[in-house]
Structure 1
Amino acid sequence: MTTRSVTESEAPAAPSGASLPARPRGRGKNVRWGIAVLCFGGLAVNYLDRSTLSVALPSMSDDLHIGPETQGFILSAFFFTYALCQLPAGALLDKYGVKRVFAIGAIWWSVATVGMGLVRGVGSLVGARMLLGAGEAAGYPAPAKAVSRWFPRHERTLANSVWDNGARVGTAIALPLVTMLVSAFHWRVAFIACGLLGVLWIIGWWRLYHEPADHPKLTTEERAYIEAGGAHTDETAAQEADAPKVRWRDLFRYRTVWGMMLGFFCLNYVIYFFITWFPSYLVDERGFDLLKLGFFGTVPGLVAIFGSLLGGFTADRLLRKGWSTTRVRKTCLVSGTLCSSVIALTVVVPTASGALALLSLSYASLTFSTASVASLPADVAPTAGHVASLAGIQNFASNVAGILGPIVTGFLLASSGGSYLVPLLVSGALSVVGALTYAFVIKRVEPLPVR
């Protein structure tokens, strides 16, 4: 026999708005969106720092004598520690709070980024890359936790798409910024400069982020609005004592959690092609020089931003219209991941512009789904104290793809004489597997029953 806990995930979507106060309007009554933008900035710096290596790698490979197989291993080294540290990062966020843990993670990854500009060989580069992964592990579950506390359920998907777009903006900025720094100065300067940008964000984060219970600028009207919509604004000791006890390891007993893990693994395998091998693809397969890479290489990332915002807007609008959470999430997740399989068609397109168009569509389709992916932990968490833990578990599985993807692509390139035919076909196939996972492995999107 099972019991169910009532969390913010079960709060009514109120499609007609009848059970909700009027949406706060006017200056000073949208503090929650400032929080989303602050998280966006953190993730943008996070992805800028991790993407710096991908852009600088062609220049670094000459100086440090790095071959294709070794390049793949170096790119994937980040994901070993990044994936493993997702698990403790989520648990620590639930225990010690978003503000403190996210700040510590940002300090860690900024120092590691600067360190990558000081390396002298492959060994030190791998070590710095692994330290970077450990520090950046809080970058995904922290904003997911913050949004679950700051936003009503019917605005949560769009809010998640806002901060999640930091990944696209950070990756897109990395191409022109790092290319400029490498061309004007040296690849070492690029790492040091990007690491110092993280320090600026940390200062802003520590000064501006507060929990809803103690934010100095949160009005009574806005707080009533987000609480009525299902945001868990204040986890008091009494509430935690009354909440059902679910051990962290018991979360792995649920089919829904395994579906979240496998689906995000497939989705992120394709996304990390764009983060790691995409610049090399444009240079090696399509003949882009450094100038073209810095300009045209930003196109898929920019298009993906609009795909993410469209995914968040679509999901929240469907919730307001009365669609069930299960129907909304599956619609967005299945359609987005399935459409992203067009990446496989890139192999038959003769022109660089045609390939860039298909890659842009694929990336935008993936990000259309990611806003709903980021909302799943809060949707299914058995209690409010499990949101970051579930986000960390989900992101752990997705970044196993970050470990395998660059290595597999590197070996496939080496074995085929540098052809991207098989790597792109593999990415397209995994997109289809991801769509089938979200369609059939996850049965219902609802709070997990407490056994």
Structure 2
Amino acid sequence: MSTKKPTKVRFFILFMVFVSVVINYMDRSNLSIAGPHIATDFGLSTIEMGYIYSAFGWSYALLQIPGGFMVDKIVPRLLYTVMLIGWSAMTMLMGVAQGFMTLFGLRLAIGVFEVPAFPTNNKVVTAWFPEHEKGKAIACYTSGQFVGVAFLTPVLVALQSWIGWQGMFILMGLTGVVWGIIWYALYRQPDEHRRVNQAEIEYIREGGGIISATVGDKGEAKQKMDWSQVKMAFSRRKLWGVYIGQFASTSMLWFFLTWFPTYLVQYRHLDFIKVGFLTSIPFLAAFVGVLLGGIFSDWLIKRGYSITFARKLPIILGLLLSTSIIGANFTDDTTLIVCFMTLAFFGNGFSSITWTLISAIAPVRAIGVTGGTFNFIGNLSSIIIPIVIGYLVSNGNFAPALIFVAAVALVGALSYIFIVGKVERISF
């Protein structure tokens, strides 16, 4: 290895991915902030709102496997730029939506453009970080899905009260377009970045980072689709255990991204401005949880524990803790309700290092397809959870909905305990 001190460009790259995830999740969750107003303005029922909340998931989940092929064949610099500008433009158009069908169609379009986002995030981190830093790196960018909502929800609520929900969508979309241009200007692959020295590349490679995951993009783009990769992604028991666990983890997330503000406003009868701040608390807890989950997992590896134990334990503990959401059914005290929600979402954040498993077990030449399949099955929750909750609460009672999401979290924990098995790279 070179005696020259490695540069730290990988951390700047990680910051860029983090910002992209913040924007990504703000554009997923801003509908939940506007939802009560949209329902009132257009006279939409809880069932109709459930379908609108789920619209993003129909395209996002169902296109994950083609998106995985795309990630394996298009360099992140170009792909992320197109994604960011595309979904941000659709977000801007949400500001001029005129009813159920327009809203549903635009949310479908946002889902299409966001399809390759997290497989691309995983590909970037797999290329830029050694294995012993990967848990913290994935936890860092994953935390963006919580920190943006946590800190910016009160801001968006205030913006909505000032310029309306239409203006909020337009401003959010414009922000994403600008960031897309910045991404294209600043992102480079490891071997193309002018500020990276050879020592950092050697450090990443010798630590288990797969430099070729990005370095070989130009060559990979000439390859034909290999459908045996898809067959592999659907046929391995180990992967199915991870997929089921991911569905459970994202189910809790999608409850908070869609129905949580409505739950506080319409079923707990809280003031909307107050809801903006109360909504932030569970997201802050999830942010802390995801950082602690990554740090704890990497600490276990440094202490000599197996990668199987170190990666699975935080996920299992977090999913079990998420079942505490059911406690909100047994109190009318606002403080206790928020406490139960906060504890549950902290657990969800603590379990959110699941991409480390895909990095560790996916075949090297099928990381994108495996990640796409993982994201496809996990994000079926973005379709199922909003719709099921819409039907469960249509009689005015939210308790069955909380029981439902708690039960799904429990199933996810059991999947990691009994199905996943040893964490090791699959031969293919």
- 3-state DSSP of counterpart to 2:320: helix
Deviation per CA, 1:300-323: give whole Å up to 9, x if none: 101111100000101111111221
Deviation per CA, 1:384-431: give whole Å up to 9, x if none: x322221211111111111010111011101xx322111101111111
- Matching of residue 266 in structure 1 with residue 244 in structure 2: no
Q: Which residue of 1 aligns with 2:374?
A: 394
Distance, in Å, in 1 between the alignment partners of 2:43 and 2:152 is 23
Name the count of aligned residue pairs.
421
Distance, in Å, in 2 between the alignment partners of 1:281 and 1:134 is 28
Q: Which residue of 2 aligns with 1:382?
A: 363
Contact 1:181 1:190 in 2 (8 A): yes
Distance, in Å, in 2 between the alignment partners of 1:407 and 1:106 is 27
Deviation per CA, 1:213-266: give whole Å up to 9, x if none: 11111122222211110111134499979xxx8533322111112111111111
Which of 180, 195, 201 is the aligned partner of 2:173? 195
Residue correspondence of structure 1 range 286-301 to structure 2 within 5 A: 286-301=268-283
- Matching of residue 143 in structure 1 with residue 121 in structure 2: yes
Q: Which residue of 2 aligns with 1:305?
A: 287
Q: Which residue of 1 aligns with 2:388?
A: 408
> Given residue 242 of structure 2, which amino acid in structure 1 is its aligned partner?
M
Q: Which residue of 2 aligns with 1:357?
A: 339
The runs of 5 or more residues in structure 1 that have no matched partner are: 1-19
Q: Which residue of 2 aligns with 1:71?
A: 49
Distance, in Å, in 1 between the alignment partners of 2:20 and 2:31 is 18
Contact 2:322 2:345 in 1 (8 A): yes
Q: Which residue of 2 aligns with 1:336?
A: 318
The farther-off stretch of 153-162 and 357-366 is: 357-366
- Matching of residue 213 in structure 1 with residue 213 in structure 2: no
Residue correspondence of structure 1 range 119-198 to structure 2 within 5 A: 119-198=97-176
Deviation per CA, 1:117-148: give whole Å up to 9, x if none: 11111111111111011111122111111000
Aligned-pair CA distance for 1:30:
1.5
- Matching of residue 99 in structure 1 with residue 80 in structure 2: no
Which of 193, 213, 237 is the aligned partner of 1:255? 237
Distance, in Å, in 2 between the alignment partners of 1:259 and 1:156 is 21
Which of 31, 46, 51 is the aligned partner of 1:53? 31
TM-score by length of 1: 0.89
> Given residue 237 of structure 2, which amino acid in structure 1 is its aligned partner?
R
Distance, in Å, in 1 between the alignment partners of 2:312 and 2:22 is 27
User: Residue 228 and residue 345 in structure 1: after superposition, are their counterparts in 2 closer, same or farther (change >3 A)?
Assistant: same
Contact 2:229 2:366 in 1 (8 A): no
Contact 1:107 1:202 in 2 (8 A): yes
- 3-state DSSP of counterpart to 1:323: coil
> Given residue 386 of structure 1, which amino acid in structure 2 is its aligned partner?
A
Q: Which residue of 2 aligns with 1:439?
A: 417
User: Residue 165 and residue 23 in structure 1: after superposition, are their counterparts in 2 closer, same or farther (change >3 A)?
Assistant: farther
The runs of 5 or more residues in structure 2 that have no matched partner are: none
Distance, in Å, in 2 between the alignment partners of 1:91 and 1:247 is 10
Contact 2:261 2:275 in 1 (8 A): yes
Contact 1:24 1:225 in 2 (8 A): no
Deviation per CA, 1:160-187: give whole Å up to 9, x if none: 0111111112322452232112211211
Aligned-pair CA distance for 1:270:
1.2
The farther-off stretch of 188-197 and 172-181 is: 172-181
Distance, in Å, in 2 between the alignment partners of 1:260 and 1:44 is 24
- 3-state DSSP of counterpart to 1:57: helix
Distance, in Å, in 2 between the alignment partners of 1:281 and 1:97 is 41
Distance, in Å, in 2 between the alignment partners of 1:340 and 1:204 is 37
Contact 1:172 1:301 in 2 (8 A): yes
Deviation per CA, 1:279-311: give whole Å up to 9, x if none: 011112322212201212101101111100000
Q: Which residue of 2 aligns with 1:327?
A: 309
> Given residue 140 of structure 2, which amino acid in structure 1 is its aligned partner?
V
> Given residue 376 of structure 1, which amino acid in structure 2 is its aligned partner?
L
Distance, in Å, in 2 between the alignment partners of 1:24 and 1:169 is 32
Aligned-residue CA RMSD in angstroms?
2.0
Aligned-pair CA distance for 1:114:
0.8
Distance, in Å, in 2 between the alignment partners of 1:439 and 1:23 is 44
> Given residue 311 of structure 2, which amino acid in structure 1 is its aligned partner?
R
Contact 2:229 2:369 in 1 (8 A): no
Contact 2:72 2:217 in 1 (8 A): no
Deviation per CA, 1:49-81: give whole Å up to 9, x if none: 111111011111121111111000110011000
Distance, in Å, in 1 between the alignment partners of 2:194 and 2:103 is 43
Distance, in Å, in 2 between the alignment partners of 1:432 and 1:121 is 37
Distance, in Å, in 2 between the alignment partners of 1:147 and 1:88 is 21
Distance, in Å, in 2 between the alignment partners of 1:410 and 1:223 is 50
The farther-off stretch of 44-53 and 172-181 is: 172-181
